[in-house]
Structure 1
Amino acid sequence: MLNKIMAVLMVVGLVGGLSACNTFAGAGEDIQRGGEAIEGAARDVQN
């Protein structure tokens, strides 16, 4: 249940970040930050 909630929050954050960027470079940075957030959440769940 917690994993689903975290996944939904991350997707919402990613969509919000992508809607705020104006360039492809900005989109790449937003996607990278989203990936880092997912990695951090995955590490938290493992621990």
Structure 2
Amino acid sequence: MAQRMVRTGLLALMLPVLLALGGCNTVEGLGQDIKKGGEAVEDAASSVKKKL
């Protein structure tokens, strides 16, 4: 019983890792989207700062 729980737990941990590794292009695109989002936040902060 304990071995089955360990195997199930390992599978639950490994599945997302394998999916992430399999979608490297997707992860790269996600990184670019996050970067663009950060730039948008910086622009908004600069705009507010100018108004003050």
Under a length normalisation based on structure 2, what TM-score does the superposition of the two structures give? Answer: 0.48
- Aligned partners of 1:39 and 1:24: how far apart in 2? 23
- Aligned partners of 1:28 and 1:42: how far apart in 2? 21
Larger radius of gyration: 2
> Greater helix percent: which structure?
2
Unmatched runs of 5 consecutive residues or more in structure 1: 1-20
* Alignment RMSD: 1.8
Under a length normalisation based on structure 1, what TM-score does the superposition of the two structures give? Answer: 0.53
Aligned-residue sequence identity (percent) comes to 7
- Aligned partners of 1:39 and 1:28: how far apart in 2? 17
Runs of at least 4 residues of structure 1 off by over 2 A?
Answer: none
Q: Which one has more relative contact order, counting CA pairs under 8 Å at least 6 apart? A: 1
